[in-house]
Amino acid sequence: MEFKTIEGGVCAAKGFKASGVYCGIKENPTKKNDIAMVVSEVMCNTAGVYTQNKVKGAPVIVTKKNLEKSGGKAKAIIVNSKNANTCNADGEEKANEMCRLTAEALGIKPEEVIVASTGVIGQVLPIEPIKNAVPQLAEKLSYTGNIEAATAIMTTDTVKKEYAVEFEIGGKLCRMGGMAKGSGMIHPNMATTLNFITTDCAVSVSMLQKALSEIVKITYNCLSVDGDQSTNDTCMLMSNGLAGNPEITSEGADFDTFKAALYQVMANLTRMLAKDGEGATKLLTCVCSGAPDLDTAIIVAKSVIRSPLFKCAMFGSDANWGRILCAIGYAEADFDINKVDVSLASKAGKIDVCENGAGVDFSEDEAKKILTEDEIDIYIDLKLGTEKATAWGCDLTYDYVKINGDYRS
């Protein structure tokens, strides 16, 4: 399948506008954007996955209720950073008010609005700055407003995260694009951070949800920065159908193409999220192959990616492969550790460090050279089947502790 990478993020698909402004939710001398809006010209079929944390941000609860009430339909997104609106007695009231304000500004119903927040947990969300900002956001909506929106949802992120592709279904050119935020508190069960994906490809609500749930499993669910799962994790997928293709209502070739496009967008955003982990200096990609089933491959790859000791070793460019075997060994899956092979690679080369569960001779100098690069690949072969999976993460550095030692300030 051919997919062309294009610009535009959440505005890449036909009929989507976006905007972002600074409203002052948290005092910031640089006046960086802290609230964003995304709107479709027409109603969208919408699917979502959310945090599995027992503590859920008020926006997660309200968005789920809105989609249930609207039958999986939405037309707009309102999202703020700096404050997660979580663990507050008035949280749902504030989240509902954000929907009401947005609906009023756009002439739509409150239940047609997706609301999301990210930032500090446990601090009351000030509504006045948001009330003042919503009319500005509505006025500034633009087909090229994706950058303003993508920067507005950043917290400790150091770079904005966007990706978009175009593809063909039913003889029609379709586009799909997304934006994401996330740098820390990343280790999801069903979603991660805040992610908003838009497409003009026509897809029914049920098939949209099926596609999102399947691709989340092999992308965002295979991401870990620090082992902590956020209370506000949200991933939304909106389809407005303006590409004009026959609506996808069942499995088949068109659905497979759509899922492949969704994978391209979500896998690339996942990679960006991992690379921009708090304090990170290296992107870690673990590929587990030779697994008897997909779940085993995912479990093993994620076990390695989330190991603090292994992450520290990668920060120090230390080929301490025993930490990899240790992490594989406590993975909750069935396999024979005495068959496992492990290799480490980067653009500087590749080196085998373990065969059949035991170490092999290798050059420490060559390994050091390989691991000094800023993108490291870990290859694991279970030699038990044909399934494989990829997990993404980053190294664990001094700066991670510094960032999270004074996060509220």
Residues labelled as active-site residues: 192
CB distance 351 to 392 below 8 Å: no
Q: Residue 94 contacts by C-beta under 8 Å, 6 or more apart in sequence?
A: 58, 85, 88, 125, 127
E strands, 347-407, in order? 349-355, 358-359, 375-381, 387-394
Is residue 241 within 8 Å of 156, Cβ to Cβ?
no
> Cα–Cα distance between 27 and 31 in angstroms, integer?
8
Burial (CB count within 10 angstroms: exposed 0-12, middle 13-18, buried 19+), residue 136: middle
Nearest to 382, CA basis, from 290, 293, 299: 290
φ, ψ of residue 142 in degrees (nearest 5): -150, 150
**Residue 66: closest CA among 181, 234, 199:** 234
Distances (CA, A) of 27 to 22, 156, 194, 377: 10, 15, 22, 40
> Residue length, the chain?
409
* Secondary structure of 127-172 in HEC code, one letter for each residue: CHHHHHHHHHHHHHCECCCHHHHHHHCCCCCCCCEEEEEEEEECCE
Lookup: tokens for 83: 């404050």
